[in-house]
A and B are shown apart, each in its own frame.
Chain A
Amino acid sequence: MNDIRKLRNIGISAHIDSGKTTLTERILFYTKRIHSVHEVRGKDGVGATMDSMELEKERGITISSAATHCEWKGHRINIIDTPGHVDFTIEVERALRVLDGSVLVLCAVGGVQSQSITVDRQMNRYRVPRMAFINKCDRSGAEPYRVARQLREKLNHNAVLMQIPIGLEGDFEGVVDLVSMKAIRFSGEFGEDIIEEEIPPGLAETAEEKREELLDAASMFSDDLTEAILEERVTEDLIHDAVRKGTLLRELTPVFVGSAYKNRGIQPLLDGVAAYMPSPLDVENTALDLDREGVEIPLSSGFEQPLVALAFKLEVSPYGQLTYLRVYQGRFAKGTDLVNTRDRKKVKVGRLVRMHADTMEEITEAGAGDIVALFGVDCFSGDTFTDGRLNCSMTSIFVPEPVISLTIRAADSKSEDRMAKALGRFIREDPTFRTHVDPETGETLVSGMGELHLDIYLERMRREFDADVETGIPQVAYREAVSRRADFNYTHKKQTGGAGQYGRVAGYMEPSGDGGYEFVNQVKGGAIPTEYIPAVDSGFQSCLAKGPLLGMPVLGMRVVVNDGHDHPVDSSEKAFKTAAVGAFRQAYPKTAPLILEPVMKVSVECPSEFQGNVMSSINQRRGMILSSAEDGVFTTVDAEVPLAEMFGYATALRSLTQGKAEFTMEFAKYAKVPESIAEELKAEAAGRRKGGKK
């Protein structure tokens, strides 16, 4: 089937525990991709098909997005199931980048929750049209009408119900379709048989009222529908066309209701995906022309155009590295060469597969709009592939900066290699997971999007790589600096038999404006012979690596040497270098040295009702709030906060805001540590020195 108009690339994303994995499972069942149904935490011990990683099955949450595809009434649907936890938003971001539309799954009890808000904001960023599915209508406390209202109020969606529920909670039996004005019930062991019947009399009035709302909303996008309403000749096709138009413009959100767990409402949702979600032709995609300084070029979704495909996800499978590709333009076949535009290297397409959770189907060709996977291609997530006719790059996927770091070390020598191998693999798979070795402490640091994010990788190291890893507490990189001018005049003199050592250096040290080190030679009349000047400079520089207060590097110092003395026999480079070290030690305490700490620019986004809590949390962390911006129902608070106070902030913020806030931080500057903290740090450093001496 090559009709691109009937292709749908959709994501299913929402708050954790909204039931999206169960929903995906049912979609696969009804589209006959799987032949039995397993629950996420089912008693049969099999686990849901999409949760293919062992850890996911155990925890009942989806960690990696698993891609799959299915067919429904002549439409091919590629689905990426995305994780719900806030720590894994890179997965959601990636999915949204390559998808053309998305189904926002909401819990009929919990309503619009934190992650729904986060995910919705991400969908806005990528201009993804969406529809909503209010799941769990069978649950006690289900209130789908309230949830639809929340969609309007909290997320600012022009949400319009396409269905209303027949019964709720334990009495939830099916839905009334407001387009066909028929009641739909689901029978059979897994709700596979659909029975259409008249609307129950008790619901007729509500159905009429909600259909009016639907027609009002949809008619905004179709003059034909408006006319038809006035002339009372509305057809289903007119409604579908208008709703589709509004959805593609992202000005209308069609809302469906059901219960995936109880097998009710899934087939009409699939009808909705086919009817209202965009095909690749409906979405404008662009790439950056690398031969023309990144000028944007439109991509056309044509099969005959030069190939452009994006590697949006890497996964390690038992058969080697699996690279997920979204083809935007053109086509390619097994056995052909692709060019990675990042390094201009050619790769041959070996195995080409279409993914179905953790099983796969071999295919020979892929074309515009497709989501497929390649085996054995060496690349990074975010790389663009072409057939060589174009040299372009897809706009890079937005990658949030890691917010937490931990030191890790292998518990034994066997684990060292395994840990290194695991780290190498994880950084290729996940751009939000980073690792580096601290040059000062020699420790390996891993950074990620939150404690759970790192926790999962550490656990994967243990399980998949058999690496026994110990974790430590992250250390802040403090610095030292001089705060005022101080003079030095130091003579190094050593005569203990044999060749003596002699050198005198005089001058001053003071803060330099730019944070760097500056050496100024103002020696006149050869008071220090020219050949010894570099040794003096080197002596001062050697002191900067470890400042006397904490043993941390010294920033922003200018050293001016204006006098000195040498000895015709005993002076040497070594003697002058030692004299400079002595001069540094003599003057440094007189410069009123400071301890500096890294200060981060922190930006917290939260629903506006949490502004006060967020401000308090920043204030308690010695932060200085710079601004607060209100936008719709959200507030963004920008502040500068010392890094030392930010550890554990993700967890604290989550608990303060019911998990509805997210934050980013980046280095802003070094700033003076308050006196009381400086004293503590000095005492700790002195303790370490004493400990070291013992």
Chain B
Amino acid sequence: MIIDFSSMSPLRILRKSSQKGLGRGNLGVLMARAGVGKTACLIHIAFDKLFRREKLLHVSLVDVPEKVTSYYNVIYSDLVKALNLEAEHETRALMERNRMILAYLNQSFEIERLRRNMNNLKEHIGFQPDHLIVDGLDFALTDRAVLEGFKEVAVDFNAEVWFSAVSHRHLPGRNERGIPQPLSEIDDVFQIILQLMPDATGIHLNLLKDHDTYGDPVASIRIDPGTFLAVSKTEASSTL
């Protein structure tokens, strides 16, 4: 059973991406100001993958697993209603079987530790993720070496890696490619950069970088602020 979530998934924005998506071995990032809904949007991306029966590793650098699980459960309940999912318990079982949560609490995170943990998952229980969702990485304090480490993990484990990043209103401008801080110095590491932007009409998801292309002015979708599902195509964001 594969659930077609593509028309409503926030990842619909990548339909017209040059490579139809992020691609294995690559890093993608979803940035937004605090409180806009990065984690919710990231979990929708996770469901997009889980509903395709792909394996997903959620790496949390802040929250304990119980909290991550409860995020998933709340969003899942909304999706059951929005998608009119039948055989709900089977879908839930599918989600639980294909999702793994790794949490790194109290600054326990190191790339080598992640690599060790992923090897344990692969060798001891046969869990090899197709996608990683990394939530809670503080980009203001993260140096390039850590991101390069993630890139190596993505390549070595043949997985896509999605991050969330907090952007700050008070931090000055964008780089010449239109990428705001805190990613302006490290945008080359990512193949896809998405930005959630709230305005008076709702929330827009903008594609700031699509592999080698920056700032495609038509690549923006509107997100339902209640469900974080894609609503309709909108005009290009004025911020691009």
Interface residues in chain A, defined as those with a beta carbon under 8 Å from any beta carbon in chain B: 608, 611-613, 615-616, 618-619, 624-632, 638
Tell me whether B83 is interfacial, beta carbon within 8 Å.
no
Known contacts A627-B103, A628-B103, A632-B108; is-contact A619 B117 (Cβ 8 Å): no
Instruction: Say yes or no: A629-B96 contact (C-beta < 8 A), given A612-B124, A619-B125.
Output: no
B103 adjacent to A615 (CB under 8 Å)? no
Residues in B whose Cβ lies below 8 Å from that of A618: 125
Whether the Cβ atoms of A626 and B96 lie closer than 8 Å is: yes
Across the interface, which residues of A come within 8 angstroms of B125, CB to CB?
A: 615-616, 618-619, 625
B64 contacts which chain A residues (CB < 8 A)?
Answer: 629
A627 pairs with B120, CB closer than 8 A: no
10 A-B residue pairs with Cβ-Cβ distance under 8 Å, sorted by A, are A615-B120, A615-B124, A616-B125, A619-B124, A625-B100, A626-B101, A630-B103, A630-B117, A631-B105, A631-B108
The answer on a CB contact under 8 Å between A630 and B113 is yes
Query: CA–CA, A616 to B121, complex, Å?
Result: 9
Whether, in the assembled complex, B104 has its beta carbon less than 8 Å from a beta carbon of chain A, the answer is: yes
Complexed CA–CA distance, A110 and B188 (Å): 50
Smallest CB-CB separation from B58: which chain A residue?
A: A627
Partner pick for B65 among A608, A616, A626, CB 8 A cutoff = A626
- When distances are taken between beta carbons in the complex, the residues of chain B under 8 Å from A619 are 124-126
Give A638 to B68 CA distance when docked, in angstroms.
Answer: 13
B235 vs chain A, min Cβ distance (A): 41
Query: Is B100 within 8 A of A630, CB to CB?
Result: no
**Are B68 and A627 in contact, CB atoms less than 8 angstroms apart?**
yes
Judging by beta carbons under 8 Å apart, are B102 and A630 in contact? yes
Given A611-B120, A628-B101; 14 other pairs, CB 8 A cutoff: A608-B113, A612-B123, A612-B124, A615-B125, A616-B125, A619-B124, A619-B125, A624-B96, A625-B127, A626-B96, A629-B65, A630-B104, A631-B105, A638-B65
B69 touches A (CB below 8 Å): yes
Q: Please name all residues of chain A whose beta carbon is closer than 8 Å to the beta carbon of B68 when the two chains form the complex.
A: 627
Residue B106, interface by CB 8 Å: yes
In angstroms, Cα B120 to Cα A631, docked, is: 17
Give the residue name and chain of the A residue nearest to B110 (CB). Answer: A630
Query: Chain A contacts of B106 at CB under 8 A?
Result: 631-632
Q: How far does the alpha carbon of A537 sit from the alpha carbon of B97 in the complex, in Å? A: 39
Min CB distance B146 to A, Å, is 16
For B117, give its contact among A611, A613, A616, A624 (CB under 8 Å).
A611
Instruction: From A611, A619, A627, A638, name the one whose CB has the most chain B CB atoms within 10 angstroms.
Output: A627
Contact mask B62-89 → A, CB, 8 Å, 1/0?
Answer: 0011001100000000000000000000
Give the CA-CA distance A630 to B101 in the complex, in Å.
11
Which of B100, B109, B124 touches A627 (beta carbons < 8 Å)? B100
* CB-defined contacts of B113 to chain A, threshold 8 Å: 608, 630
A627 touches B102 (CB 8 A): yes
Query: Chain B residues with Cβ under 8 A from A629's Cβ?
Result: 64-65, 102-105
The residue of chain A having its C-beta at the shortest distance from the C-beta of B126 within the complex is: A619
Q: A613 vs B101: C-alpha distance in the bound complex, in angstroms?
A: 18
Chain B, 98-136, CB within 8 A of any chain A CB? 100-106, 108-109, 113, 116-117, 119-121, 123-127
On chain A, the residues within 8 Å of B104 by CB distance are 629-630
Contact A627 B69 (CB under 8 A): yes
Give Cα A624–Cα B64 distance, bound, in whole angstroms. 18
- Complex CA distance for A474 and B69, rounded to whole angstroms: 33
- Report the bound CA distance from A631 to B60 in whole Å: 12
Q: Name the CB-closest residue of B to A623.
A: B125
Given A624-B97, A625-B100, A638-B65, does the pair A630, B105 have CB atoms closer than 8 Å?
Answer: yes
Q: Report the bound CA distance from A618 to B121 in whole Å.
A: 12
Q: How far, in angstroms, from A629 to B124 measured CA to CA in the complex? A: 17
Count A-B contacts at CB 8 Å: 62
Chain A contacts for B97, CB-based, 8 A: 624
Q: Closest CB of chain A to B207's CB: distance in Å?
A: 32
Task: For residue B239, give the distance in angstroms from its CB to the closest CB of chain A.
Answer: 37
Q: How far is the CB of A671 from chain B (nearest CB, A)?
A: 9
Residues from chain A with Cβ under 8 Å of B119 in the complex: 612
Which A residues are in CB contact (< 8 Å) with B109? 630
List of A residues within 8 angstroms of B117 by Cβ: 611, 628, 630
Residues of chain B with a CB closer than 8 A to A630's CB? 102-105, 108-109, 113, 117
A625 nearest in chain B by CB position: B125
Return the chain A residue nearest B105 by Cβ.
Answer: A631
Inter-chain contact A628/B108, CB cutoff 8 Å? no
Question: Roughly how many angstroms separate A489 CA and B130 CA in the complex, as a whole number?
Answer: 52
Contact A628 B96 (CB under 8 A): no
Cβ contact within 8 Å between B101 and A612: no
Interface centre among B68, B97, B116 (most CB of A within 10 A): B116
Taking the nearest CB of chain A, how far is it from the CB of B30, in angstroms?
22
Closest partner residue, chain B, to A671 (CB atom): B93
Q: Does B101 contact A615, Cβ atoms closer than 8 Å?
A: no
Question: Chain B's nearest CB lies how many Å from the CB of A668?
Answer: 12
Contact residues in B for A616 (Cβ distance below 8 Å) = 124-125
Q: In the complex, A626 Cα to B113 Cα: how many Å? A: 18
| A627: chain B residues within 8 A (beta carbon) | 65, 68-69, 100-103
Closest-CB distance, A620 to chain B (whole angstroms): 10
Q: Inside 8 A of A628's CB, which chain B residues have their CB?
A: 65, 100-103, 117
B100 smallest CB distance to A (angstroms): 7
Q: From residue B99, how far is it (CB to closest CB) to chain A in Å?
A: 8
Least CB distance from B113 to A in Å reads 6
Q: 7 nearest interchain CB pairs?
A: A627-B65, A627-B101, A629-B103, A612-B120, A615-B124, A631-B105, A616-B124
Shortest beta-carbon distance from B159 to chain A in Å: 17
CB distance from A144 to the nearest CB of B (A): 28
Inter-chain CA distance A156–B106, complex, in Å, is 12
Residues of A contacting B101 with CB < 8 Å? 626-628
**Complex CA distance for A631 and B104, rounded to whole angstroms:** 6
Q: How close is A182's CB to chain B, nearest CB, in angstroms? A: 40
Q: Which residue of B lies closest to A613 (CB)?
A: B124
Q: Give B123 Cβ to nearest chain A Cβ, in Å.
A: 7
Q: Which A residues are CB-close (under 8 A) to B65?
A: 626-629, 638
Output the least CB separation between A111 and chain B (Å): 22
Please indicate the chain A residues that have their CB under 8 angstroms from the CB of B102 in the complex. 627-630
B89 nearest CB across to chain A (Å) = 10
Query: How many angstroms from the CA of A619 to the CA of B100 in the assembled complex?
Result: 14
Query: CA separation between A616 and B122, bound complex, in Å?
Result: 11
Whole-angstrom distance between the Cβ of A85 and the nearest chain B Cβ: 28
A618, A628, A630, A638: residue with the most chain B Cβ atoms closer than 10 Å: A630
In the assembly, what is the distance between CA of A627 and CA of B65, in Å? 6
- Give the distance in Å from the alpha carbon of A463 to the alpha carbon of B130 in the complex: 59
- Give bound CA distance, A618 to B104, whole Å: 21
Q: How far is the CB of B106 from chain A (nearest CB, A)?
A: 6
Chain A nearest CB from B93 CB (Å) reads: 9
Q: How far is the CA of A619 from the CA of B106 in the complex (A)?
A: 28
Chain B residue at minimum C-beta to C-beta distance from A610 = B120
A9: min CB distance to chain B, Å: 29
Provide the bound-state CA to CA distance between A628 and B123, in Å.
15
Q: Closest A residue to B113 by CB, please name it.
A: A630
| B103 cross-chain contacts in A, Cβ below 8 A | 627-630
Per the bound structure, the CA–CA distance linking A632 and B103 in Å amounts to 12
Nearest CB of A to B205, in Å: 28
B residues in contact with A625, CB < 8 Å? 100, 125, 127
Compute how far the CA of A628 lies from the CA of B57 in the bound complex, rounded to whole angstroms: 11
Q: How far is the CB of A416 from chain B (nearest CB, A)?
A: 45
> Measured between alpha carbons, how far is A613 from B116 in the docked complex, in Å?
13
Most A CB contacts (10 A, CB to CB) among B65, B100, B106, B124 go to B124
CA A613 to CA B120, docked complex, whole Å: 9
Q: How far is the CB of B86 from chain A (nearest CB, A)?
A: 14
Task: Give Cα distance in the complex from A626 to B93, angstroms.
Answer: 12
Give the distance to chain B from A678, nearest Cβ to Cβ, in Å.
Answer: 18
Contacts of B69 in A (CB 8 A): 626-627
Task: Tell me, rounded to whole Å, the shortest Cβ–Cβ distance linking A425 to chain B.
Answer: 38
Distance in angstroms from B28 CB to nearest chain A CB is 23
A622 to chain B, nearest CB (A): 12
How long is the Cα–Cα vector from A45 to B148 in the complex, in angstroms? Answer: 66
Q: How far is the CA of A538 from the CA of B64 in the complex (A)?
A: 48
Could you tell me the distance between the alpha carbons of A68 and B10 in the complex, rounded to whole angstroms?
A: 66
Specify the chain B residue showing the minimal Cβ separation from A635: B117
